Amino acid sequence: MTSVTAHDYAWTRSSRLFRYALEAGYTLTLVRGVAPREVLQVMTAEPQGTCTGTDALIERQDELLDPTDYWDESFVAGAFAVPGEGGDWTLVLHLGDGGTGMRSRFLETLSAGGRAVVHSSNGGKPMHFFHWYEDGELRTTFEWPTVRGGSTPDALNPVMRDVGFALSDDESETTERVDTKAAVLALTERLTGVRVTEELLQEAEYQLGHVPEEPAEEWTGIVIDIEAAAPIVDCGPSSSTP
């Protein structure tokens, strides 16, 4: 495991790419031991060729999605292989459109017998999320580092403190304010061995896939019991004037 901390990701504060990701939304996923093409297949993505760099990835997203269809939750994902701890990993990046990104059922499948780590932002709201999956199970997840969920919500606490997170509301726990997004990137590297840099993302050759939106749940209708909803009120015997 590397000794990286949030300070190693200070570049995100001045990065044009990262500023766009936070404003428009993004999801960055790392999956161990599954090739990019196989990852896209698990995501039921329709192959869309390749492109080089994040600018081209954003252009393809704009080309393939209808900008007037605000309800369309499909998205374009770009994937490429990168070395990391324990072998090759696949990095999957989705930029823009609110960062809809990876779905939980994909991550459960992709992490079976391995590991998947995800962090994301929905774009300007702001809502930022982190998920760690191991052997098909969501182990630790959080929006705020002090409020964690998953099957083992506290398993990463020592590492989280080490990279720079404050895990209590006591401000004396840390001597300086830490960029939580930089800390999330550092935590991701601790779990994957993959150092994410602006150059890595901008120069990569992405295999592209258009991931369709989730099918709508079948509408079964609603049955209303009118008698139960509107009980009769007894106002007593009526009287009339002759």
Condensed to tens digits (0 to 9), the pLDDT of residues 177-200 reads 789 999 999 999 999 999 999 999
Q: Give yes or no for residue 61 having a pLDDT over 80.
A: yes
Please state which of the ranges 67-71, 158-162, 207-211 shows the lowest mean pLDDT. 67-71
pTM: 0.84
pLDDT tens, position by position, 1-55: 679 999 999 999 999 999 999 998 999 999 999 999 999 999 999 999 999 999 9
Q: Give yes or no for residue 241 having a pLDDT over 50.
A: no
Whole-number pLDDT of residue 64 = 76
Contacts 24+ apart (CB under 8 A), 160-166: 160/187, 162/5, 162/190, 163/4, 163/5, 163/6, 163/187, 163/190, 164/5, 164/6, 164/7
CA atoms within 13 A on the CB side of 179: 14
Whole-number pLDDT of residue 174 = 47
Task: Identify the burial level of 157 via C-beta atoms within 10 angstroms of its C-beta, where 0-12 means exposed, 13-18 middle and 19 or more buried.
Answer: middle
Amino acid identity at 40: L
Please state which of the ranges 12-21, 144-153, 211-220 shows the lowest mean pLDDT. 211-220
